[in-house]
Structure 1
Amino acid sequence: MTQPKMPPAFSRLWTAATVSSLGDGAYSAALPLLAVLLDSDPLVVSLVTVAVLAPYPVAGLFAGALVDRWDRRRTMWIADLVRAVLLGLTVAAGAFGWLSIPVLLAVAFLLGTGTLFFDTAAQAYLPDLLARDQTLLRRANGYLRGASTAAGQFTGPPIGSFLFAVGKTLPFAVNALTYVASATLIRTLPPTPVPERAPGRSVWADSKEGFAYVVKDRLLLGLALRPAVGNLAFGAFGAVLVVFAKDALGLHSAGYGFLLAVEAVGGLVGAMVLAGPLEKWLGTGTALTVTAVIEGGAVLVFGLARDPWLAGAMFALCGCAMATTMVLGASLRQVVVPARLMGRVAAASRLVSASAAPAGAALGGWLAATAGVRVPYLAAAGVLVSMTLVTMSMTSNKRIEAALAKAKEATPVA
């Protein structure tokens, strides 16, 4: 059977995503380094990271409602240009000696807001670009996830650290240029229709509609709960990973970097190699259940491991399963959700998943401090497997097939 072909416009979207991910990776490495330079208090430094993520719980639903009212392609390139301007102002502030922690917090929050709008619009734009074809969407999300991992986790951070050593705000200038390049490419993409909406409705009413749509639909709720529980679990052990690597595995900075690298390699394999075959062999629902069980098992063995090589293999396996889950879940959501609600559903799902990570980090720190550095991993494994038992019926093959059939009936014939 002939595989459907990706439209030529997707290559431009992928290139834009790769270029901006490269800049994001450089920025993510340089931001905490600059924060430490301005104030060495760990709490203050952590607040800068929190500021980047804060827009998702604070304004995520409103962003989704606005994206569903606006031209999504235009929203993406404007978000890129706004972020480029913000980074340019940061470079100027550094040149004049005006940088401070309050300035950095404001910049981080505004950049996070721009990323929120860009990501939500991209999630809503992609199904229209690919005519809601599940195979194309799965491949596209795999390519985009792979680009984000390769450029944002492998290549970008070392470049950012090197550029920071050359000039403290140089990584920010480079990231600004990547956003300009991304905006230029996105402007060449074909426009998609702005969804129709009832006149006179408030943004708040639209936001509530999107959130209710996710909560009331068992399939969409299951797809949102899986990454939420994953973020809770991974937040719990990620918060103490550097301590675990040092105290339990006997690794120093290079070994810790190795752990992060093998997790990213696993993510690349899952997103770009395994997601498609696994979906074909098992069906989307069963594949999601299998990857969730693998995540829980890998985290359990990782938490019990004393050999760093075994720990590294389990971390790579966990990253592979995580990436596969994310690609399959996002692609399915983009097929079954109506175009008029896509921005709000994407934002609501992201809100549910993103809100769990800070709670997990706090829980992981508390468990490590009171019960030992291995306990967060054992607890995370238990949570992952337990929630799999809860959500497996919500995302079963039967339920997914029914949702796909309903979405196909609702799609206008071209």
Structure 2
Amino acid sequence: MSRKPPMPKAFRRLWLASGVSSFGDGVYLTALPLLAATLTRDPVLLSLVTASSLVPWLLFGLIGGALVDRWDRRRTMYVTDAVRGALLLAAVAGAAAGWLGVPLLIALAFLLGIGQILFDTAASAYLPEVLDRDPGLLKRANARLRGTMDVLDGFAGPPMGAALFNLGRTIPLVTDAVSFLLSSLVIRSLPASPPKPPAPKRSLLKDAREGASYLLRDPLLLGLSLRPALGNFAFSAGAAVFVLFAQEELHLSATQYGILLTSEAVGGFLGSLVCGWLSDRMGTGRALILTAALLTAAQTTIGLADDPWLVGGAMAVRAAALGATIVLSASVRQSIVPDALMGRVTAAGRLMSLGAAPIGALLGGWLAHVAGLRAPYLVGALFLAASTLISLTMTSNRKVEAAMAKAEQERRRADEPAEVAP
């Protein structure tokens, strides 16, 4: 059996920074709905808090991708994390001054969402640089990053967030601020991106349109983006009112709510572990079909179940399928998209996928208001069923393998020395 090549040191530092930041996010994202629920019991207002962190993708997603392709990607990441840490500390100061309210939470989530655009797009574009676009290394790296996020963001962070919230409402915000600042310091030690060749002067909008056009013309990339768009729409519809669902339908305390969220971390971690095994044995396309079917079944179960243990199990299955989907989709995209377009294509795909989330969150709040807290989950399951059809038709094994082979041929041609005319 051939030994797998070791990961470069730069990836290990990027992995460390991601882990530190993921733990802080798990604390913050668990405490935020609990904090909002102390200020209002209106499901529509709660859905606005959730949606405000995702609306920036609709407004600035493509522009963020164009900026990432122009800027040094490492610098973009560490500056963004430093600014996000400062924003959280400013919000804590505002709360101490008596300004704590739903408007403050909406503004904070919106600004942090802008930072997420720049950081996530830059990180996704920087990873292929570190790993020299090796498909095997990319799959392993994305699995490790996803698994770490699931453990720290989803498993360690939620109970810690609930515990810190019980000690003080703004303590989780301070914890997340510290994690951002530590992440910024680690990322600053990474090697800089290669110098970019001088680009022709043109508008950001034109650059952004080029990335979007590249994605829309490629059926495989389009399918890989449509699936998470439907998924995020469905998940956000339920997530927007999940704190009320847990309290009023499952009758859970704040601590039990935090523990329930850890079931997603367990599932997500397992999904990141097995996705490579599934891909090797079934092919990436068939693995994506399987995960789509599991997502549909799990979301339906959550909407129908009364037992918190059954809900937790369904959440674990859903997270495992989602984690595997994210790892496999990201690895394919990072392997086949040209480096000069990586930031813009990544941003266009995330705009499509995350842009559906705030719409889903608002719909979820409305559905819960008019039809009850289970309605967002059952309606969301219908959209997840549609994603299975997309996997069957647009991201099959044959299409994935053909795209990977074409990208490899183009890289080899680009690496060949140019012939010198006699």
Q: Do the two structures share a fold, i.e. TM-score over 0.5?
A: yes
**Distance between the aligned counterparts of 1:104 and 1:407, measured in 2?**
44
- For residues 235-282 of structure 1, what are the alpha-carbon distances to aligned partners after superposition, in whole Å with 9 as ceiling and x for unaligned? 33444545665777x5533665554322221111001x1111001001
Partner of 1:77: 78
Q: Which amino acid aligns with 1:91?
A: V
Cα 1:257–1:187 shift into 2, 3 Å: closer
Q: Which amino acid aligns with 1:406?
A: K
Deviation of 1:11 after TM superposition, in Å, equals 1.3
Partner of 1:300: 300
Deviation of 1:197 after TM superposition, in Å, equals 6.0
Cα 1:135–1:242 shift into 2, 3 Å: same
Partner of 1:397: 397
Q: Which amino acid aligns with 1:335?
A: S
- Report SS of the residue matched to 1:190: coil
**Distance between the aligned counterparts of 1:14 and 1:225, measured in 2?**
28
Q: Which moved more, 1:283-292 or 1:187-196?
A: 187-196
For the Cα contact (< 8 Å) 1:51–1:108, is it kept in 2?
yes
Deviation of 1:41 after TM superposition, in Å, equals 6.0
**Distance between the aligned counterparts of 2:133 and 2:246, measured in 1?**
43
**Distance between the aligned counterparts of 2:170 and 2:308, measured in 1?**
36
Sequence identity percentage: 51
- For residues 341-383 of structure 1, what are the alpha-carbon distances to aligned partners after superposition, in whole Å with 9 as ceiling and x for unaligned? 1111111111111122233334445555666665544443333
- For residues 10-54 of structure 1, what are the alpha-carbon distances to aligned partners after superposition, in whole Å with 9 as ceiling and x for unaligned? 111111111111222222234445555666766555433333222
| 2:327 is the counterpart of 1:330 | no
Residues 5-404 of structure 1 aligned to structure 2 (within 5 Å)? 5-35=6-36, 43-97=44-98, 101-196=102-197, 198-239=199-240, 241=242, 251-253=251-253, 256-271=257-272, 273-305=273-305, 308-367=308-367, 376-404=376-404
Q: Which moved more, 1:203-212 or 1:167-176?
A: 167-176
Cα 1:49–1:240 shift into 2, 3 Å: closer
**Distance between the aligned counterparts of 1:72 and 1:334, measured in 2?**
15
Q: Count matched residues.
A: 412
For the Cα contact (< 8 Å) 2:271–2:321, is it kept in 1?
yes
Q: Which moved more, 1:166-175 or 1:61-70?
A: 166-175
- Report SS of the residue matched to 1:392: helix
For the Cα contact (< 8 Å) 1:234–1:380, is it kept in 2?
yes
Cα 1:96–1:195 shift into 2, 3 Å: same
Q: Which amino acid aligns with 1:282?
A: M
* TM-score, L = length of structure 1: 0.89
For the Cα contact (< 8 Å) 2:34–2:243, is it kept in 1?
no
**Distance between the aligned counterparts of 1:238 and 1:128, measured in 2?**
34
**Distance between the aligned counterparts of 1:380 and 1:36, measured in 2?**
23
For the Cα contact (< 8 Å) 2:43–2:365, is it kept in 1?
no
What do you get for the CA RMSD once the two structures are aligned? Answer: 2.8
Q: Which amino acid aligns with 1:132?
A: R
| 2:411 is the counterpart of 1:413 | no
Q: Which amino acid aligns with 1:386?
A: A
- Report SS of the residue matched to 2:394: coil
For the Cα contact (< 8 Å) 1:16–1:182, is it kept in 2?
yes
Partner of 2:419: none
**Distance between the aligned counterparts of 1:365 and 1:236, measured in 2?**
7
Cα 1:187–1:308 shift into 2, 3 Å: closer
**Distance between the aligned counterparts of 2:135 and 2:351, measured in 1?**
24
Cα 1:93–1:343 shift into 2, 3 Å: same
Point out where structure 2 has 5 or more consecutive residues left out of the alignment.
417-422
- Report SS of the residue matched to 1:6: coil
Deviation of 1:308 after TM superposition, in Å, equals 4.8
- Report SS of the residue matched to 1:201: coil
- Report SS of the residue matched to 2:193: coil
**Distance between the aligned counterparts of 2:95 and 2:115, measured in 1?**
21
Q: Which moved more, 1:344-353 or 1:79-88?
A: 79-88
**Distance between the aligned counterparts of 1:238 and 1:34, measured in 2?**
15
**Distance between the aligned counterparts of 1:251 and 1:97, measured in 2?**
31
Cα 1:104–1:305 shift into 2, 3 Å: closer
Q: Which amino acid aligns with 1:342?
A: M
Cα 1:167–1:377 shift into 2, 3 Å: closer
**Distance between the aligned counterparts of 1:378 and 1:164, measured in 2?**
31
For the Cα contact (< 8 Å) 2:224–2:329, is it kept in 1?
yes
Deviation of 1:172 after TM superposition, in Å, equals 2.8
**Distance between the aligned counterparts of 2:376 and 2:162, measured in 1?**
30
**Distance between the aligned counterparts of 1:102 and 1:370, measured in 2?**
24
